[in-house]
Structure 1
Amino acid sequence: MDLIGLYPTWYEPGIGSGWVIGIIATVHVLFSHTAVGAAILFGVLAWIGARDNRPELIDFIRKYGLFLLVFSYILGSITGPGIWYSTTVGSPRGISALIHNFVWKWATEWVFFVIEVIGVYMLVYMAGKLDRFTYMKLAAIFAVTSYATMLAIVGILSFMMMPGMEEWKTEGGYLLGFYGDNTFAQLMIRTAFMFTMTAVVGGIVAAGLKDEAFKKWLLRRLAIVGGLSAIIGISLYPWYMNSLPEIAHLVAENRMPDYFTPSILIVLGAMLAYFAVTLIRPKFVTATVAGIATLAILVLGLWPGETIRESVRKPYIAGQYIYSNQVIGHDVPGMGVESEMPTLEKVGFKHAHIFWPEDQREIRRDNAAEVGRTLAITACANCHSLSETGIRPLKNYFPEEADIEGIKTYLTGALSTGNTMYMPRIPLKDDEAEALAVFIASLTDPEAVARYEAGDKTALLENRSDEEDK
């Protein structure tokens, strides 16, 4: 049978499934990156504390670690599975591809994560109970294992953008898929900004210290770390962008809003100003001020950054062979993967999709709009919302005056042949293109469906060739 393994599509009509995943992931990035940065900070502070016999540094590690147990490890352990759940429902074949390519890499990351979680508990509850040199060794193990989790995850995230090496497509193997220019560029830029997050969140804990002299000393050093890491992070941005595939640059040039770059620079400037004030006047920093700065990083800094990373990855979800709508668009001989385009060209979505509604296998005038909606959910909804809100509303990509025939011409011409700027080729059958055109037209003209069902538009549904009828 000409079937492909597409799953039912998770359609969230309000903001779109993409934004649901994006919101959970952005919050998780704040928790996880702060934890990794803090782990390395703990290692450095424990070394200074052991070298100079400064028990106040060990006490700060204990307090910051106790804060992280809730901020990063408990909340992070909620949003982490939240990412797994939402992405598995929203992109099951994308997650499947990542697991098939990197199952042992993920298993390795989980081993390091278990050590990391045990480590933070030990740093919190063994502070003052171990001699300072043993405590320093424990902090060093915690720092190394924590950073190892980031390395593993960043390599997988990079594969979602593009395989590490071109040879992966013909030879397979997780090393060729994992390691590439984008892997290291993304790792370095994330490393830089994780210290910025660690410095800001650390200010929440440092602001509550009773020893004023130590608090000033610590806040100033956190400001230096945060400011320098922010500058280094933005200086790495050209390297990161140059490591992206050509299609990512095309998407960025044509789909990123004009205000995006200025807004990022404004946020960076505000962060540098915050660190400058902290360096000059540490008394300015209170737990409330540091908390507001943390929220500013989350909303104004992380959200745009994660948005652009996810946006420029389109139209792919993984490895530049699985499209965001879950269709496998290219052969990958090294992994034994074959394109599903020939099957769609042969029988269309309505006969290839296992979970397609049985009453929509045959398209008629009286059900064309409903079939078109099913097609839009299946083929378009992972990148475009079908309502006024959400990610890239589908109706905005067609002129308000566009009629069914005009929309169908585009769908059968540009979209079905791949003659677009960057969107994937979606080989719709003629009646499918017409049904989708009816639905798209109804988004701007609610009366379009009634006129169509009344027979006002000449349709190939009624004039198909004998061969097409067969």
Structure 2
Amino acid sequence: MQYPIWELTTFGGGFFIALVAVVHVFVAHFAVGGGLFLPVFETLAAKLRSAPLLEYVKRHTRFFLLLTMVFGGMTGVGIWITISVIAPQATSTLIHTFVFAWATEWVFFLAEIVSLLIYHYRFDRMDRRSHLIIGWLYFVFAWLSLFMINGIIGFMLTPGAWLTGGGFWAGFFNPSFWPGLCFRTAMALMIAGLFGFLTAHRIEDEETRELVYRCCARWTIVPVVLAVGFGWWYFSVLPPEALERLTVKAARMTAFYRLIPFLAAGLFVLGSVMILRLRREARISLSLILLLLGFGFIGTFEFLREAARKPYVIHGYMYSNQIRTADLDGLRESGLLASAGWARVGPITEANRLEAGRVLFQLQCASCHSIGGPMNDILPLTAQYPLVGMDAKIAGMGRITPVMPPWAGTDQERLALAAYIVDGLHGGKPGNRAWTPPQLTVDIPPFDRDKDEYVLLAWNNLGMHCISDSYAEWVLLPPANDLFAQLIRRGDKPEVVTEGVELSYHVEPGFEEPARASLFWEHAECLFGARPEDNVGLAGCGLIGPMHENGELNCFEAKLIPVEPYPADGGFNPYPVFTVVAREKGTGRLLAATRAVAPTSTEMGCRNCHGGPWKVDDLAGISRTTGRNVLRSHDRLSNTELAASAEGGKPRLCQSCHPDPVLGAEGNPALLNLPAAIHGFHANFLSGRGSEACAYCHPNRPDGPTKCLRGVHAQADIGCVRCHGYLEDHALSLLKREQEQGKQRAGRLMAHLTPRSAENLAAINPRLPWMQEPDCRTCHVDPNVKPDAKTSLGFNTWTTGGDTLYRNSPDKTGRMLCIACHNSPHANYPAVNRYGANRDNIAPLQYQGNIRAIGAQGNCAVCHLKEVTADVHHLGRAAMK
């Protein structure tokens, strides 16, 4: 970063490169092909002794000189000026690496000029043989100039062995040298034919004019065929990652990639038509059309060549923003501003953050992006992002989007750039508002320890069921909460009762009609292939009804209850309370009753990165704007048409494509399973963060309306990463299993992720999501010894399968479920709920008058009527072996 900055705003660097370079390249190729055109046609005129044809060559020579030498020379100087101010570091590298090649090319260029001037001004003053020698010399020198320039231009895309110390010759005769030279030679000949069409209409002699048109047609159609073949050869030698950027359909450049065969076909067909006898006016029109097609053909090639280099200006050596790959780690350590000698910004403070961001934009982005300009305008590309999303987008550059250089700078500088784009260019985006929820009371059901015969325990098995309520756009998880219960007959030897009893449930008032506030039922058939009645879930359960025996778990359950966090009187409450009742079968005698929270939240934080408002009360829910932005991102990166499908009234279930164990969805087995795809993708944008990265998506931000992590671990300040690992670790454990299943996409998402909770990737144990989760006994080795809250780490030791998950695990007796006494994951007793401190602690308060786990602190008498002298429930790690 040793050169001063050319501050580009409306017209970014890409605009000037496109404006000057493509025009010059078109004219420069004409200078080569036309150099052969002139002596060939002069020879033909001499052979035919055709004065009209010789006169045409003379007049064409004048046109050729003015266009190639005068205009071409001006655009050539324009290229040097443009690249020296837009890409000074790269220009310096090219000059120093190929100084003798440049000197040689300039000698050839000087010889071109002299030859062409002699050829034009001595056209009728030299004998024909000498004049033709000068013409042929011009062509030789012009082609040798192309030879030299082709080596340097090709080096920028395919430096080959130069990167590993191969030196000048390895860089010059790089892998694309020969296919590039052949392609450009064919292009030069084709363009000569196109310009021949353009000037041929001035020939008055009809037969001579027809002869020139026929010859020019051959000069066009034969090189077009050759150019297509050489172009195929050229693309075949590109680095695999560069070729992938051109062929991935999701890339913006694909439209240009598809243009090549159409442009080539147009040139071939219309060039062939020019062989026929046509009216003079028709030929003039076709000549102009052919010239435009030719310009488009070479312009498209140059655009694709430039695009294939991205994110580099010199492949593998220097990024398009002039930062060398070797300097990247150092700049991330020391900072980009400190390394830019011409940047006049001191240490970043709150006062100068936007100014620092503006300078960082010029250093990092302006070489490609304009501000409100015609090319790569940064404004529409970043309009949707709030600050968190913009910061994440910058952090993920060069990972998921390979055409972008990776971020070079400190985290503080990255945030300053994000703030400049969001606040400086877009005027800011509203953040999340802090929420102080109401303190709701909950009635604790009565229990008489001396008289009551039964204890009824109820729980939700997930601790938080998240709903992606963007039903008209896409669905990740539907409203589908599960309630479980176990009925224990108290006694000297308590017994779990499953026969001769009936259990039922009902939700608290205000939550009975979720269809009133939800579009789920309107789109259920499209999404799930079934249309349950309003307020009834996908498994046939409503907000009131019977529970069914689950013999495998020795409990009762009600599956997929479609409760939503929107009470009838308005507002947001993610913790509706259900009452569960046990009655004697046949008589209906009440045996026991209890209550439990069924946590369900729509505070999924897609809008934190994808923009848009919250859907409900500026607190929660995925709005249509946010949902549609997510679809557009998916379409752009994965070549899908989900946004158009949603616009047509056909939303999609994510698991219809991605396999997912939680729904038992097979999806497309070739694709990554849904948790691996989601976490693997987003980890590339949210690396280097702690538990806050989890809260960007999951409903757990400290000042949010849900705060789902509310159990004993939260009270001990044990965040997400202590069990699940940092986001990179979490993603790698999921992706590693997918990679072992032969899914190549996993490797692409893993490429830029570095483990943080393990020494290396090999040390991370792969896992199947939902079925293999952190094992409680990793930290809780001995039930009588409290784990160290500061050092215990649950990451990387997984349960063996769904049957060994905490929520499905029985105690030592094999009858009681651990979760029945300890409560849901993320809400283990004692839990603190934002909507009322003890809203999650109903059962402990009901049965033992405290908020500890059932039976803790000597409360065995909740179920045991005889004194207990041994731990009959817990099983330590040693006993498991």
| Shorter-chain TM band | 0.7 to 0.9
**Partner AA of 1:113 in structure 2:** F
1:365 paired to 2:365: no
Change (3 A) 1:201 1:395: same
- Report the CA distance between 1:288 and its aligned residue: 4.5
- Report the CA distance between 1:221 and its aligned residue: 0.9
1:425 paired to 2:403: no
Change (3 A) 1:113 1:56: farther
Please list, as runs of the form range in 1=range in 2, the aligned pairs for 1:191-230 lying within 5 A after superposition.
191-230=185-224
Quick one: distance in 2 between partners of 1:104 and 1:21? Answer: 25
1:173 paired to 2:154: no
3-state SS, counterpart of residue 317 of structure 1? strand
Once the two structures are superposed, residues 416-465 of structure 1 have per-residue CA deviations (whole angstroms, 9 ceiling, x without a partner) of xx64442333232121121112123237741349999xxxx9xxxxxxxx
1:347 paired to 2:334: yes
1:106 paired to 2:96: no
1:31 paired to 2:23: no
3-state SS, counterpart of residue 181 of structure 1? coil
Q: 1:84 aligns with which of 74, 80, 83?
A: 80
Question: Higher mean Cα deviation, 236-245 or 44-53?
Answer: 44-53
Quick one: distance in 2 between partners of 1:406 and 1:275? Answer: 51
Change (3 A) 1:81 1:68: same
3-state SS, counterpart of residue 79 of structure 2? helix
Structure 2: gaps spanning 5 or more residues: 434-607, 609-881
**Partner AA of 2:378 in structure 1:** L
TM-score, normalising length from structure 1? 0.84
3-state SS, counterpart of residue 274 of structure 2? helix
Instruction: Give the equivalent residue in structure 1 for 2:360.
Output: 375
**Partner AA of 2:80 in structure 1:** W
1:115 paired to 2:111: yes
Once the two structures are superposed, residues 23-64 of structure 1 have per-residue CA deviations (whole angstroms, 9 ceiling, x without a partner) of 111111221111210111223234445556555554333221
Quick one: distance in 1 between partners of 2:430 and 2:155? Answer: 42
User: How many residues are aligned here?
Assistant: 432
Quick one: distance in 2 between partners of 1:273 and 1:234? Answer: 14
The answer to whether the Cα contact below 8 Å between 2:30 and 2:191 also exists between their aligned partners in 1 is yes
The answer to whether the Cα contact below 8 Å between 2:270 and 2:290 also exists between their aligned partners in 1 is no
Change (3 A) 1:196 1:84: same
Quick one: distance in 2 between partners of 1:302 and 1:8? Answer: 33
**Partner AA of 2:337 in structure 1:** K
Instruction: Give the equivalent residue in structure 2 for 1:150.
Output: 146
**Partner AA of 1:250 in structure 2:** E
Instruction: Judging by fraction of residues, say which structure has more helix.
Output: 1
Please list, as runs of the form range in 1=range in 2, the aligned pairs for 1:49-448 lying within 5 A after superposition.
49=45, 54=50, 56-163=52-159, 165-166=160-161, 168-252=162-246, 253=248, 254-284=250-280, 288-289=284-285, 292-293=288-289, 296-297=292-293, 300-329=296-325, 339-357=326-344, 360-385=345-370, 387-395=371-379, 400=384, 402-412=385-395, 414-415=396-397, 419-422=399-402, 423-442=404-423, 445-448=426-429
Once the two structures are superposed, residues 202-236 of structure 1 have per-residue CA deviations (whole angstroms, 9 ceiling, x without a partner) of 12222111222111112101111111111221232
Quick one: distance in 2 between partners of 1:9 and 1:308? Answer: 27
Change (3 A) 1:262 1:408: closer
- Report the CA distance between 1:356 and its aligned residue: 1.1
Quick one: distance in 1 between partners of 2:380 and 2:5? Answer: 22
**Partner AA of 1:436 in structure 2:** L
3-state SS, counterpart of residue 98 of structure 2? helix
The answer to whether the Cα contact below 8 Å between 1:227 and 1:272 also exists between their aligned partners in 2 is yes
3-state SS, counterpart of residue 340 of structure 1? helix
Change (3 A) 1:76 1:180: same
3-state SS, counterpart of residue 113 of structure 1? helix
- Report the CA distance between 1:136 and its aligned residue: 2.3
- Report the CA distance between 1:376 and its aligned residue: 1.5
Quick one: distance in 2 between partners of 1:285 and 1:174? Answer: 52
The answer to whether the Cα contact below 8 Å between 1:33 and 1:194 also exists between their aligned partners in 2 is yes
Quick one: distance in 1 between partners of 2:134 and 2:336? Answer: 56
Structure 1: gaps spanning 5 or more residues: 330-338, 458-470
Largest Rg, 1 or 2: 2
Quick one: distance in 2 between partners of 1:285 and 1:173? Answer: 55
Quick one: distance in 2 between partners of 1:76 and 1:389? Answer: 27
The answer to whether the Cα contact below 8 Å between 2:354 and 2:417 also exists between their aligned partners in 1 is yes
The answer to whether the Cα contact below 8 Å between 1:62 and 1:125 also exists between their aligned partners in 2 is no
Once the two structures are superposed, residues 133-157 of structure 1 have per-residue CA deviations (whole angstroms, 9 ceiling, x without a partner) of 2222222211111111111111111
Quick one: distance in 1 between partners of 2:11 and 2:96? Answer: 30
Change (3 A) 1:344 1:408: same
- Report the CA distance between 1:305 and its aligned residue: 2.4
Question: Higher mean Cα deviation, 40-49 or 432-441?
Answer: 40-49
Quick one: distance in 2 between partners of 1:58 and 1:27? Answer: 29
RMSD: 2.8
Change (3 A) 1:382 1:52: same
Question: Higher mean Cα deviation, 42-51 or 179-188?
Answer: 42-51
Question: Higher mean Cα deviation, 131-140 or 148-157?
Answer: 131-140
Question: Higher mean Cα deviation, 300-309 or 85-94?
Answer: 300-309
**Partner AA of 2:6 in structure 1:** W
- Report the CA distance between 1:103 and its aligned residue: 1.3
Quick one: distance in 1 between partners of 2:194 and 2:4? Answer: 42
Quick one: distance in 1 between partners of 2:216 and 2:158? Answer: 35
Quick one: distance in 1 between partners of 2:274 and 2:82? Answer: 39
Quick one: distance in 2 between partners of 1:366 and 1:48? Answer: 75
**Partner AA of 1:378 in structure 2:** L
Change (3 A) 1:424 1:258: closer
The answer to whether the Cα contact below 8 Å between 1:159 and 1:177 also exists between their aligned partners in 2 is yes
- Report the CA distance between 1:280 and its aligned residue: 0.6
TM-score, normalising length from structure 2? 0.46
3-state SS, counterpart of residue 313 of structure 2? strand
Change (3 A) 1:419 1:51: same
